A and B are shown apart, each in its own frame.
Chain A
């Protein structure tokens, strides 16, 4: 199992809200309700630096909502959270990536009418050519643009998208779009990635490739947290697994401990079974 390659979360008790030795992301008292429904209510959650954390839970457990809150795409009712020394609560969605925390979306947001390369170069931060005062004078940003393009090309190569460089992103397949979105997020030079269902709508062959990339990133020192439905997939790749049900973290721990955790099996699989009975297995 690949999870053997790194197990930096040793000596930490598998209980909800447990403190980690070197947390890069730390969430406290995070709360969000929509009308009467409490969508997210997380007392405490820490994410260890340099690990892959899988976030699981049945539909409606609040996983995506939590991502939205953490990244400023939705406003929390209460709570504080910090990322690598920056307090994020109250920050706007566009300010958070600049701290080094970048997210992707469940429904891929590849910019279809822009070329693959434009998607990549767009994502680089602190571009002089993006300032209105400087953008008219090409010599001011030409050098930086070249460097950005070189970085983009290297990433496209790594994600097997180099041959699509000048195509519109709209011509990519679903799996390629997921890869592009990940590669694009890396252009921001983040220290942590929040991937919202990186495998949704991806065929099994590409799925393996996506997880290989995630693992490589972790080995390069990146912290990754990702949302996923399928338990077996999560278990294979995660160093640590967090299970949410009805907005709360009901369990966390190494994959093996989660797989045998009664609360998880009851709540998560139980809910899954009921849901399958109701919807005919969608999810």
Chain B
């Protein structure tokens, strides 16, 4: 068994575009859930409208930059759609509405046939060419040892982590300002904030929309990297994977989303590679585990890891322990 190859593979995924996109999505969710306490269970819908906004615009003959604008505008609209009817109500209503609305939207996109705007189950392909035409890196392999990327991969990677950096800084600036102080007050007790004259509704809406737009960038990034959008990539489970990333890293921590995403994808990829190699090498008998079970196994391990984390480090890797302890009082 080639443990080095398994490791190299896991590292490649953990710093790759997928991890960056999840980190980005988690940065947005961190603003909503971590700092404001909004239970947005439909975060995947922001990724979806971002991706589809871009794909449809380009598919209809528009330029990519316009597609990106449309994706952002769609995320703003979705944030208002989620927020306006629910943010005056208790937190659980937002959770119910967002999880349902995200699924409704996905099914609406999936419904029509191939000739429609969304192209139904077939999805839209090859809309990111303009992005790859901008690639400044010459042909070749880039990396250290066995962890390497093609010039295409490197280009996506660079843009992806640059976006993560930009939005992380944005969220840090936002949350350490008096505006962010009101968000934290809302997270703890809306009525206290109201009794001090804070317009809770507007701030929650702002937080939801900004977090949603960051989510849309994550969706656009993933879609352009794959050169494909398909409604079935936006199942509710994606939202929960992003929550896992955020909780791993530590909600309301600055770098938590990044640490969480890297670790999440490292564990997922490493367990998959390791189990596969172990089965091939005959360390694990087929009767116990065969290769088709690996997909389930890796999520079971992530679940186990989360449980251990909640027991021994409930604040996540980078969260503040005191805040969790105060909660327990």
Contact = CB atoms under 8 A, between A and B. Distances in A.
Interface of A: 71, 73, 93-98, 102-105, 109, 111-114, 118, 121-123, 125, 127-132, 135-136, 138, 141, 145, 168, 170-171, 184-185, 187-188
A122 B203 CA distance: 14
Contact of B188 (A94, A113, A185, A187): A113
A129 B179 contact: yes
Given A105-B195, A170-B326, A135 B178 contact: yes
Given A122-B185, A136-B173, A136-B174, A71 B195 contact: yes
B197 A97 contact: yes
12 contacts: A93-B194, A94-B197, A111-B188, A112-B329, A113-B184, A113-B188, A114-B188, A118-B181, A129-B177, A136-B170, A168-B326, A185-B195
B196 A184 contact: yes
A127 B196 CA distance: 12
Given A97-B196, A104-B195, A123-B196, A138 B177 contact: yes
Contact of B192 (A98, A109, A125, A187): A109
A270 B181 CA distance: 48
- Chain B interface, DSSP helix/strand/loop, else mixed: helix
B199 interface: yes
B34 to A, nearest CB: 12
In this complex, the member of B194, B200, B323 whose beta carbon has the largest number of chain A beta carbons within 10 angstroms is B194
B206 interface: yes
Nearest to A113: B323
A121 B177 contact: no
A170 B327 CA distance: 8
B189 interface: yes
A2 B327 CA distance: 40
B177 A94 contact: no
A97 B174 contact: no
Given A111-B189, A112-B188, A170 B177 contact: no
B322 interface: yes
B182 interface: yes
B184 A114 contact: yes
Contacts of A121: 178, 181
Contacts of A71: 195
Nearest to A171: B326
Contacts of B170: 136
Contacts of A138: 177
A203 to B, nearest CB: 18
